[in-house]
Amino acid sequence: VRLLFVLIQTYFVKFTHKNDKEKKKKESIFDLSKYIDKPIRVKFQGGREASGVLKGFDPLLNLVLDGTIEYMRDPDDQLKLTEDTRQLGLVVCRGTSVVLICPQDGMEAIPNPFIQQQDG
């Protein structure tokens, strides 16, 4: 009985230490450090878009943006952005809702080549 207890205890210690090492290995697949203090644009699940200066991030892609501006969508067509904006200031963006991150400088919207254009 004592030997069985020692074996279980040894296995438990090895198993818990193995999980601690695996948790420490959690690194982000993106290196956003080169965008710190630079303007970026972020798209979220559900279609919202915002831009601001990246102040911080973590491995789960939670972002801290300063001077954030949200780009408003057309109420009739939620896929279209309007010229209207809303000032949000300092914002924490939850990483699970982030779909796209890109630098603001050099970003240019292009038409979708996969949508068939209607002849008018």
Domains assigned to the chain? 32-103 (2.30.30.100)
* pTM exceeding the 0.75 threshold for the entire prediction: no
- Rounded CA gap, 6 and 1, in Å? 9
Q: Which residue has the higher pLDDT, 115 or 26?
A: 115
pLDDT of residue 10: 64
Host H or E run for residue 66: strand 63-73
